[in-house]
Amino acid sequence: MVHDGVSWRARTQRAAWVLSAALLPLIAFGPSVVHAQSIMRTPSVNVGSRVPTINPTVGPRINPGVGARPSVSVDRVARTPPSRIDTMSSTLRVRPGVGVPSTLPHARFSPNLYPACQYAFRGPDGECFDRPVKSAGGGNGASAKKGNGGAGKNNAQAAVDLRAVKNELVAEIDGALSIAEADELARRHGLERIASQSFRLLGGTIGLFRIVDNRPVDTVRRELAAEGSVRSVQLNFRYFLQDQTKASTEGDAAQYAVAQLRLPQAHALARGMNVTIAVIDSGVDAKHPELANSVADTFDALVSKEGPHTHGTGIAGAIVAHAKLMGSAPEARLIAIRAFGASSKGAESTSYVILRGLDYAAEHGAQIINMSFAGPKDPLIERGIAATAARGILMVAAAGNAGAKSQPLYPAANPNVIAVSGTDAQEKLFAASNRGNHIAVAAPGADIFLPAPDDKYQITSGTSFSAAYVSGVAALMLERNPALKPGDVRTILTKTARDLGTPGRDDQFGAGEADAFAAVTAAAAAPAVPLASVSDKPAGEKTPTPDPTADNTSVSRALNDGPPSIASDKSTANAAK
């Protein structure tokens, strides 16, 4: 009996163990399977904003005690797309068989003297400042002006202050005042007279003053304007040259702009002879082989000791280069006016200095004035431009490199000025180019091969060079027909431009890309021949045979010529203060 009981209990335990082993997998895995299927059937995904809101004036918060664990703000900064201007790089491509064959070697893009501007440091008018100027919401400065709160007004005022030289005022004073009387006027208002001169262009005397007693600028301005011997007072606004930094890369150094503008065809008809162009810019290296015998006059509106700069030398080259390169008007005469000097942000100028440049150009026979710079709307410069236009002098300006969201920059937005936007080798809009209904025409401005100081060369970008090319095209037109007025030149340029982008006029290219050959042809026939008849390139058109007696060294060079050296870092020493 005992044996049978033990046997029964043993069989019962074994049966229980077998049953437990069979049920164990169901007990262990049943809930997990149900949970996984519920996730698959009803996914719950939390996707953050693709465009995170970032305060550009506040740096990321990082706990230095935690290694390799960045906070959320750091992650957002890392995921934010970089500024198109800061990282912009377009590849220089030249279509085979078009225009002048390249005889230049492959070259490296040279570093530019003037760094690209980061978003947080860009002012409401596109200027680049040395400290952040954006509002806390990351706006473009305009939004701050719309609010009624004190913070918005403070942001707007800060942006305005950065657009002008600190503690400086420009005033029109009675020309009958002696120097001693002008100094006494300044002392009564806590000012120092830095300079003053009579401007024949304006028919008045303009003085530059500095506040020496730390009073608010607006207070001093109101008190000075109340003087009977003072006719107007304003801030001394700042202006900046319009070029862009290029990343170091390699590309074909051939001048695609030559083919796009149809310069060889145009030069068979005119080369800018006996036309004077004033270039208000930074210093020009008049000894460069590309500019030999082209700089007829120089004027230093800064009264500085700085040497030549890459920007001014490049602008001059875009107009008159005639050695290894081809400018748009290789036989034009230049008045090289230095109005921009080196600063921590590149090369900049002011209202007073630019007015000196305009006055000199108008008084010394300039027929065209190239202004490859941009800044805010400035009452004093607006007066200068109006007076210059009244003398029948043509003015061309860069649209600016502040991009699609920028408001119009000046002097390009002045109706008396031909505003030029930039294009690239594929005839697309230069990424940083300003837009607007004030744009007249476009011209090549991306990856332009140009001379640099010390017999060197550079590849650089900016609407600065677009404007310079158009100034040269205008010189060709004036050589062909000296009777043309500024309004005639504008009309011919726009009606002969090659339409780009959406059909018809638009805010990116204006009337289209300038066509030198069509413009010169129309200038010779104006006003008898309808301008629209020469705006399109006829099918199968052949390049006119150049005059064999003409200087065509810029068209073709011997293949065994030594390669041009590229601007090195040593040339940037001229930009250091």
Q: Report DSSP letters for 368-430, one per residue.
A: EEEE-EEB---HHHHHHHHHHHHTT-EEEEE--SS-TTPPP-BTTTSTTSEEEEEE-TTSPBP
Rounded Cα distance, 413 and 420, in Å: 10
Rounded Cα distance, 224 and 230, in Å: 7
The 3-state DSSP class for residue 346 equals: strand
Q: What per-residue confidence (pLDDT) applies to 92?
A: 34
- Joined tokens for residue 500: 């780009």
Contact 464, 397 (CB under 8 A): no
Q: What per-residue confidence (pLDDT) applies to 463?
A: 96
Provide the 8-state DSSP code for 570. Answer: G
- Of 140, 141, 138, 139, the C-alpha closest to 155 is 141
Q: What per-residue confidence (pLDDT) applies to 347?
A: 81
Q: Which of 461, 464, 471, 571 is catalytic?
A: 464
Q: Which of 189, 267, 311, 438 is catalytic?
A: 311
Q: What per-residue confidence (pLDDT) applies to 568?
A: 40
Q: What per-residue confidence (pLDDT) applies to 242?
A: 80
Contact 452, 467 (CB under 8 A): no
Q: Tokens 């007249």 appear where?
A: 440
Where would I find the beta strands (DSSP E) of 418-530?
418-423, 439-444, 448-452, 456-460
Q: What per-residue confidence (pLDDT) applies to 570?
A: 36
Where helices occur in 303-363 by DSSP H, the ranges are 310-320, 351-363
Query: Is 464 a known active-site residue?
Result: yes
Q: What per-residue confidence (pLDDT) applies to 304?
A: 87
Query: Is 311 a known active-site residue?
Result: yes
Query: Is 378 a known active-site residue?
Result: no
Rounded Cα distance, 318 and 287, in Å: 16
Contacts of 222 (CB under 8 A, 6+ apart): none
Domains of the chain: 163-237 (3.30.70.60), 242-525 (3.40.50.200)
Q: What is the pLDDT along the chain (577 residues), one digit of tens a residue?
A: 444 554 555 665 665 555 555 544 444 444 333 332 222 333 333 333 333 333 434 333 333 333 333 333 333 333 333 333 333 333 333 333 344 444 443 333 333 333 344 445 555 444 445 455 543 333 333 333 344 444 444 444 444 556 889 999 999 999 999 999 999 999 999 999 999 999 999 999 999 999 999 899 999 999 999 999 999 999 999 998 887 644 333 334 458 999 999 999 999 999 999 999 999 999 999 999 999 999 999 999 999 888 899 999 999 999 999 999 999 999 999 999 999 988 766 789 999 999 999 999 999 999 999 999 999 999 999 999 999 999 999 999 999 999 999 999 999 999 999 999 999 999 999 999 999 999 999 999 999 999 999 999 999 999 999 999 999 999 999 999 999 999 999 999 999 999 999 999 999 999 999 999 999 999 988 764 444 434 443 344 444 444 433 333 332 222 233 444 444 433 333 333 3
Q: What per-residue confidence (pLDDT) applies to 450?
A: 95
Q: Which of 252, 281, 378, 447 is catalytic?
A: 281
Tell me the pLDDT tens digit for each residue of 261-273. Answer: 999 999 999 999 9
Rounded Cα distance, 484 and 481, in Å: 6
